[in-house]
Amino acid sequence: MAATIGYADVEVGDELPAQSFPVTRATLVQYAGASGDFNPIHWNEKFAREVGLPDVIAHGMFTMASAIRVVTDWAGDPGAVVEYGVRFTKPVVVPNDDKGAVIEVSAKVAAKLDDGQVRVDLVATSADQKVLGMSRAVVRLA
């Protein structure tokens, strides 16, 4: 875990270290088991295509959780996140091959708020498509 970041050490525009998160079909099976979300769009290619998807897609909550890791790693404490919200704009399509998909996440400090809090705006993409919109977290710093 990273050292805790102090409010006084942060400026608007600071970029957080970007991260990449690989996603394979095996990852989706593991997530389904942990979350209890066994919707066939996340594991059954035939079903996913029948309902109009291009292929199996990652769970939205998995995508959202992957993205916030950039913030929690930077802050040094997952409990520092006091608010987090996104809009799902595109699905993360996960092909049935050895590579799967990759979720690329970048973030920057967008505002310094009261009480030692900052707003961090995130950008999450996969296959050059923005997969999360309006992705923002409020973080309480030391």
How do residues 19-63 score in pLDDT, each as one tens digit?
A: 999 999 999 999 999 999 999 999 999 999 999 999 999 999 999
Looking at domain 11-140, its CATH class is alpha beta
- Domain ranges for the chain: 11-140
pLDDT of residue 4: 74
**pLDDT of 76 above 90:** yes
Tell me how far apart the alpha carbons of residues 62 and 78 are, in angstroms, rounded to a whole number. Answer: 16
pLDDT of residue 1: 45
What is the pTM (predicted TM-score) of this model? 0.94
Residues above pLDDT 90, as percent of the chain? 94
pLDDT of residue 3: 57
